Amino acid sequence: MVRALDAKKPETSKAWEDWNTSSTVWNFSVGKEAHRGVHGLEYEERKRYQKSNRYIYERRKAFAGKLAPQLVETLILKYSDDGDKILDPFVGTGTTLIEAMKHNRKCVGIDINPDLIDLTRRKLQQAILESRFTAKDFTLLIGDAAEILQNFEENDFDFILAHPPYWDLIEFSGIEGDLSETSLEEYLKKMNRIVGLLFKVLKPNKFCVIVVGDRRRTGIVPIGFYIANIGMMNGFNLWDIIINNTRFGGKQYGMYQQLKSKKYKFHLLDHDYILVFQKRKAGWKYINPITLV
């Protein structure tokens, strides 16, 4: 098993007090209570989007698959320092930016969906007005991550946390270029381009974390393994692979899935991979498995 990164336990983080993150298997709540507090504006939006005509609020799936704030907070505290500049190339509903600003980090966020950028901006502005935090150093950019990243300077960010859309799971935006709505080949090609740009804009010896899950079709589509390989091909050292337990859903849903699992002899996918990459000059030599065939 890959050894977890040794780190001194921060005294100010409730996330570190509540959860044991010294091993490579993590468990965080994904229930609605976990997303309240500073994320409260989104909770209010959830109650309204059935009545709204706006695209983002009329489709419940647009909010699905986000990370628990405690998980994001733990990653930020573990792999970045006070005052660092953080990049999130797939903003979604803004969890990373909120947690970054709570802990006095500067942040830049990118998303292809303008409605989500608008929601994130309003959440941040509300939190600032309510004096949840005082930092105002954030930038939100609308567009394709691959196109925007190529205009950034090299070695500009201290930490990157990316939670890309999962391939062929949720229709994320309906916008051309959306990763969730491409073929597997196009998804991996684009992720290869994005990861290469993430390597360029990250400072040496700093960390890039990508959270991603696999898919099941006639068998497992190992998206996590593909992304791990893409990261190493682009020069990253694969520092850790952390398993994030994502089991959730009501009892009825769980029973239905279990019956399918038993009938067709497959196991439920109840985890994501937290792939921790480090941009470092020294490391073991990467071997492309294709060259061994």
Q: Which residues of 41-53 are buried (b: 16+ CB within 10 A; e: fewer)?
A: bbeebeeebeeee
pLDDT at 277: 96
Q: What is the pLDDT of residues 207-222, one digit of tens each?
A: 999 999 888 777 888 9
How many domains in the chain? 1
State mean pLDDT over 198-210: 97
Tell me the pLDDT band of 240, cut-offs 50, 70 and 90. Answer: very high
Contact yes or no for 146/197 (Cβ under 8 A)? yes
Per-range mean pLDDT, top range of 5-9, 122-126, 222-226 = 222-226
Report yes or no on 118 lying in a domain.
yes
- Bridge partners of 106, per DSSP, are 85
State mean pLDDT over 132-159: 89
Report yes or no on 159 lying in a domain.
yes
Is it the case that residue 28 has pLDDT exceeding 80?
Answer: no
DSSP class of residue 165?
Answer: P
pLDDT at 159: 98
pLDDT at 199: 97
Is 32 or 230 the better-scoring residue by pLDDT? 230
Tell me the pLDDT band of 127, cut-offs 50, 70 and 90. Answer: confident
We report the CATH number of the domain holding residue 21 as 3.40.50.150
Average pLDDT, the chain: 78
Of the listed ranges 29-43, 121-135, 165-179, 188-202, the least confidently predicted one is 29-43
Report yes or no on 286 lying in a domain.
no
Global pTM exceeds 0.85: no
pLDDT at 7: 44
Report yes or no on 9 lying in a domain.
no
Report yes or no on 289 lying in a domain.
no
pLDDT at 60: 40
Q: What is the pLDDT of residues 88-117, one digit of tens each?
A: 999 988 999 989 988 999 999 999 989 889
What end-to-end distance do the CA atoms of the chain give, in Å? 26
Report yes or no on 69 lying in a domain.
yes
Report yes or no on 5 lying in a domain.
no
Report yes or no on 1 lying in a domain.
no
Task: Show contacts of 169-177: CB within 8 Å, 24+ apart.
Answer: 169/65, 169/213, 169/215, 170/61, 170/64, 170/65, 171/61, 172/62, 172/112, 172/113, 173/62, 173/112, 173/113, 174/55, 175/112, 175/113, 177/112, 177/144
- Residue 98's domain comprises 14-281
